[in-house]
Structure 1
Amino acid sequence: MCKSLFLAAFFGLVAGCASPASGACDAPYGQSPQFKNCLFENPPNPEALPSASSWKIWSRFLTGTKTGTVPVDPIPVRPVTPAQLEALDREGNHIIRLGHSSHLLKLRGKYWLIDPVFGERVSPFSFVGPKRFHQPPLKLEDLPPIEGLILSHDHYDHLDVPTIEYLAKRVNRYFVPLGVGARLVDMGVAPERVAEFDWWQAAEHDGVRLTAAPSQHFSGRSLTDRNRTLWASWIVESGSQRIFYSGDSGYFGGFRQIGERFGGFDLALIENGAYDAYWPAVHMTPEESVRAFEDVRGKVMYVVHNSTFDLAFHTWQDPLARVAKLAEAKKIELATPVIGEVLTIGKPRTNALWWEGLK
């Protein structure tokens, strides 16, 4: 029974399985080019490989064996204190890795969150599902006042109920793809605090310019709501610096389009983890992550979506080890921060391959 519940929770993170919408539907997003037949869709991509059937994926999780997907040794974590955050230069742009794809940003003195997940499990259940390898570097109650919170999509490893419920009245403004606003309202967020975006829509808030951009993924939080909400990558512009966040995505030509439109990024947060040949179109291998980074014309490649949850069949070190070797060969400036590490955009740093030697 527990394994079945685990699979139900996990399946929504990597492959999804839902009945298509049928009949008439209330379509508030009918003007979106991404919204067709009552669901959101990825644009055509002839390079995208098909996923395995739902039955094959379910069968693999039921009967397959995992090796090395969960660390034996403790993942290193640098505790972050409110005093440390306050001491960061108010004129600079800083990013602190919280784990997986979760980040705390201090943008010219104001605090922002990206896909914050402080919960113990990424699952619809509190007692089963992928459990975090490490604790966050700071507690939810130690977060400073948050000016803005950015979400890439509604999967459990990016949209976390206990986190949002705690932050509901503690965040000034939420920035989300189309349809995700209703999820937040259900978690206690006031509707007037939420701004929904289609791809290429932009807005400015407190001196930060945000643009939702394409990604190649899917959405859903159960077996019956696949693709009822949109997914997105994001561009964050603060002062003269630009940050790109891929969200979750398979490799597609949209990365090149983003690079051409914005002319490059000071820092590119690129998904690198939870890939598998059974679902090749919705997550990127390290080789594809590097290709995406080159397409968006980043200066520093900062890899995310790894080191916190067991979401695939590759070893937990594989995303980091492979991308580090590729970056060295291509002379790419790589950022693989320790959990809790502060990276100040535009400032020199020494990158540590912290996973080496850990089991």
Structure 2
Amino acid sequence: MAKTNPTSPAQALPTLQKHEGRYRNKASMTRLGFFRTLGVFWDAVFNKPKFTRPAGEIPVQPLSRQQLLAAPDNSVFRLGHSTVLLKLHGVFWLTDPVFAERASPVQWAGPKRFHQPPISLEELPPLKAVILSHNHYDHLDHMTIKALMAKTEHFLTPLGVGDTLIEWGVPAEKVRQLDWWQSTEVHGMHFVATPAQHFSGRSLRDGNRTMWASWVMHDEHQRIFFSGDTGYFDGFKTIGEQYGPFDLTLMETGAYNVDWPNVHMQPEETLQAHIDLRGKWLLPIHNGTFDLAMHAWHEPFDRILALAWEKNVSITTPQMGQPFYMDYPSRGHAWWLGVEGVKEVAAARVDGFRCERRHAEGLDGA
């Protein structure tokens, strides 16, 4: 069902290498070592700062099935983290759906949601396809997949991830598994599994047994890029040259750390990736829902907004559940500044960032 795109630059960025049953990125990955890894784990469990979770309530705009069915075509709704609902060609598509209370193998421990989804699984309209980037718990949730099984026509996955879905009970005929640069068509939309720089695994023993990918979604009118999880690499420029310019990029911006440069992007890299992709509008995702790093929960928004202003990049930051209309794009507003304890810290961070930039570029008269 999936077919290789004959015009894809497969020689420039071939498929993931596989060694002894495990996939490997093309670039060599930085290894922290045992003691540094142990230190990162210790900090995450015992030294977590309070500001990694919001002190106040995250604003969410509730959605109903009736609202979604009445929404115009080319509407985009953030539901939380990397879960994005798109209405294209009169039907609905959903990326990396996670509706569970925790992004964890168990629901009594692990990162807990900051907010409830804007719409329940039961209220969601029928889905033409679910698009999955990889198998980490904050992107692939067992409970959610089981609930969506009956109302979803197709599940599009990187290689190996579809096997997991089939093990969970998803009918094999609903699953399409793609290698990098392979494409498939569903209801007039073309989907291409494109490269990403990340890793996979849901236990201590299955690391990198399945693939990870970003996704290009396009038809004759719209082009959308969904990053999944990834470090910054030269593949963004290749994807932009092959499939850009993109009307909208849904870009990972959050859960980063200086110790994870190969698998997650700092906001500066997110912006550069968007530019490499030749994106018109940037919608930052992978933030605002789960506590997955040591930075302040709102820091990704502060930093990417300041960077976009500096580079004159069109950026939109809708609330969870708030529509973004691709035919009539708007910037939205800095909703996170209204959450308790954020405004003063965020303003200081943005001003400090601007001062540092001006000083570095010799614009402050020094």
Identify the TM-score tier after normalising by the shorter chain.
0.7 to 0.9
Offset at residue 280 of structure 1 (A): 1.7
Are 1:86 and 2:80 an aligned pair?
A: no
Give the Cα separation in 1 of the matches to 2:139 and 2:64: 23
One-letter amino acid of the counterpart of residue 297, structure 1: R
Give the Cα separation in 1 of the matches to 2:15 and 2:276: 25
TM-score by length of 2: 0.86
Equivalent residue number for residue 269 of structure 1: 250
Give matches, 1:337-356, under 5 Å: 337-356=318-337
Are 1:323 and 2:304 an aligned pair?
A: yes
Offset at residue 350 of structure 1 (A): 3.8
Offset at residue 50 of structure 1 (A): 4.4
Are 1:230 and 2:211 an aligned pair?
A: yes
Q: Deviations over 1:296-325 (max 9, x none)?
A: 110001100000000000000100000000
One-letter amino acid of the counterpart of residue 111, structure 2: P
Classify 1:32/1:244 alpha carbon distance in 2 versus 1 (closer, same or farther; 3 Å): closer
Which of 108, 112, 128 is residue 89 of structure 2 equivalent to?
108
Aligned pair count reads 325
Give matches, 1:1-359, under 5 Å: 33-44=16-27, 49-51=30-32, 53=34, 54-89=37-72, 92-358=73-339, 359=341
Classify 1:36/1:79 alpha carbon distance in 2 versus 1 (closer, same or farther; 3 Å): same
Give the Cα separation in 2 of the matches to 1:238 and 1:81: 27
One-letter amino acid of the counterpart of residue 336, structure 2: W
Contact residue 51 and residue 280 of structure 1 kept, 8 A: no
Tell me the percent identity. 46
Offset at residue 264 of structure 1 (A): 1.4
Offset at residue 69 of structure 1 (A): 0.4
Give the Cα separation in 2 of the matches to 1:238 and 1:51: 42
One-letter amino acid of the counterpart of residue 211, structure 2: L
Equivalent residue number for residue 8 of structure 1: none
Q: Deviations over 1:261-306 (max 9, x none)?
A: 1131000011000001122211111111111111111000110000
Offset at residue 49 of structure 1 (A): 4.8
Equivalent residue number for residue 19 of structure 1: none
Worse overlay, 33-42 or 331-340: 33-42
Contact residue 84 and residue 95 of structure 2 kept, 8 A: yes
Offset at residue 65 of structure 1 (A): 3.4
Classify 1:252/1:114 alpha carbon distance in 2 versus 1 (closer, same or farther; 3 Å): same
Please give the secondary structure, in 1, of the residue aligned with 2:300. Answer: helix
One-letter amino acid of the counterpart of residue 23, structure 2: F
User: Structure 2: which 5+ runs fail to align?
Assistant: 1-13, 342-366
Offset at residue 36 of structure 1 (A): 2.4
Q: Deviations over 1:223-255 (max 9, x none)?
A: 111000000000011341100011000111111
Contact residue 248 and residue 281 of structure 2 kept, 8 A: yes
